[in-house]
């Protein structure tokens, strides 16, 4: 079974500083997708970044980047130059890439506070 | 529409009442998912549709939960004889095959 673990229930960062959110997962698959979603108080889950497991290069989206360590099954999110609008719950998610099992598996989330 | 639309945004039900939650996915998205999110938790999978076919309902917590998507577009999640433990946010998401999920704003259900 696939599981996603986020070991940091809460994190805080000073505005303009850098913060890293941790995520580990368990799978026996070799091909899959990993995602980070952001959920502000409005409740809508917003895609931050995605990573295909077959790609060795770490994904980057502006101030957001990942450190994908496939052998260690680790997928951390780095937020650079943190802004007040980055404050939200962040969820790591896993999805199989093939077959009819299209479930996304989510971690329990990390609540990020940005301190002005 | 431009995004996934869910209604109602809030629903208060008395214990024992039936409720129906609606999801209107992004046009053309064949995959549709329902998730249940308890307070302070991550979304938990309920059920998955590909077009009108319900391919996975393994996450539905009891036979009081029922979902349908008769024409492969709008979906309805129905909860019969609601219980207090059903109180949660119910998220709907749609996607193209093997693409990221696009979520709606969710329906917050409170059972009193």
Residue A77 forms part of a structural domain: yes
Residue B34 near chain A (CB below 8 Å): no
Residue B45 near chain A (CB below 8 Å): yes
C-alpha A114, offset from chain centre: 17
- Taking only the tens place, the pLDDT of each residue in A49-81 is 999 998 889 999 999 999 999 999 999 999 999
Q: How far is B80 from chain A (nearest CA, A)?
A: 24
Residue A75 forms part of a structural domain: yes
> Buried b vs exposed e over A21-30: b needs ≥16 C-beta within 10 Å?
bbbbbebeee
Q: How far is A21 from chain B (nearest CA, A)?
A: 15
pLDDT at A21 over 60: yes
Q: Give pLDDT, residue B97.
A: 73
Q: Which among B90, B112, B83, B103 has a CA at the least distance from the CA of B10?
A: B90
Using the beta-carbon criterion (under 8 Å), do A103 and B48 form an inter-chain contact? yes
Residue B31, SS3 per DSSP: strand
pLDDT at A17 over 80: yes
Q: Give pLDDT, residue A56.
A: 84
CATH number for the domain that contains residue A102: 2.60.40.10
- Taking only the tens place, the pLDDT of each residue in B4-59 is 999 999 999 999 999 999 999 999 999 999 999 998 888 999 999 999 999 989 89
Q: How far is B16 from chain A (nearest CA, A)?
A: 26
Q: Which among B91, B102, B79, B80 has a CA at the least distance from the CA of B34?
A: B91
Using the beta-carbon criterion (under 8 Å), do A109 and B41 form an inter-chain contact? yes
Using the beta-carbon criterion (under 8 Å), do A97 and B98 form an inter-chain contact? yes
Percent of chain B with pLDDT over 70: 98
Q: Residue A81's domain spans which residues?
A: 3-111
Residue A116 forms part of a structural domain: no
Q: Give pLDDT, residue A96.
A: 80
Q: How far is CA A47 from CA A36, A55, A93, in A?
A: 6, 19, 10
Terminal CA-CA length for chain A: 41
Q: How far is CA A83 from CA A14, A49, A115, B18, B60, in A?
A: 9, 17, 9, 43, 38
CATH superfamily of B5-111: Immunoglobulins (2.60.40.10)
Chain pair A-B, CB pairs under 8 angstroms: 61
Residue B103 near chain A (CB below 8 Å): yes
Q: Locate the DSSP E strands across B4-106.
A: 5-7, 10-13, 19-24, 31-37, 44-50, 53-56, 65-68, 75-79, 88-95, 102-103
Q: Residues B18, B1: contact at Cβ < 8 Å?
A: no
Q: Give the count of domains, chain A.
A: 1
- Per-residue pLDDT, averaged over A83-96, amounts to 94
Residue A82 forms part of a structural domain: yes
Q: Where are the domains of chain B?
A: 5-111
Q: How far is B15 from chain A (nearest CA, A)?
A: 24
pLDDT band at A99 (very low <50, low <70, confident <90, very high): low
Q: Which among A36, A14, A23, A44 has a CA at the least distance from the CA of A90?
A: A36
Residue A94 forms part of a structural domain: yes
């Amino acid at each position: 079974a696939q599981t996603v673990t986020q070991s940091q229930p809460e994190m805080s960062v000073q505005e303009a500083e850098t913060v890293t959110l941790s995520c580990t997962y368990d799978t026996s698959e070799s091909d899959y997708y990993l995602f980070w979603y952001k959920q502000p108080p409005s409740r809508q889950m917003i895609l931050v970044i995605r990573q295909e497991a077959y790609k060795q290069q770490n994904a980057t989206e502006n101030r957001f980047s990942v450190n994908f360590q496939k052998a260690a099954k680790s997928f951390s999110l780095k937020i650079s130059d943190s802004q007040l609008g980055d404050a939200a719950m962040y969820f790591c998610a896993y999805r199989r890439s093939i077959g009819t099992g299209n479930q996304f598996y989510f971690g329990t989330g990390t609540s990020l506070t940005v301190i002005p | 529409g431009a995004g996934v639309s869910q209604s109602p945004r809030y629903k208060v039900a008395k214990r024992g009442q039936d409720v129906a939650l609606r999801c209107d996915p992004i046009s053309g998205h064949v995959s549709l998912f329902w998730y249940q999110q308890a307070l302070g938790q991550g979304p938990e999978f309920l059920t998955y549709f590909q077009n009108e076919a319900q391919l996975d309902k393994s996450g539905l917590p009891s036979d009081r939960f029922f979902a349908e998507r008769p024409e492969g577009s709008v979906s309805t999640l129905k909860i019969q004889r609601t219980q207090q433990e059903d109180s949660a946010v119910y998220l709907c998401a749609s996607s193209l095959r093997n693409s990221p999920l696009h979520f709606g704003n969710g329906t917050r259900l409170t059972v009193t």
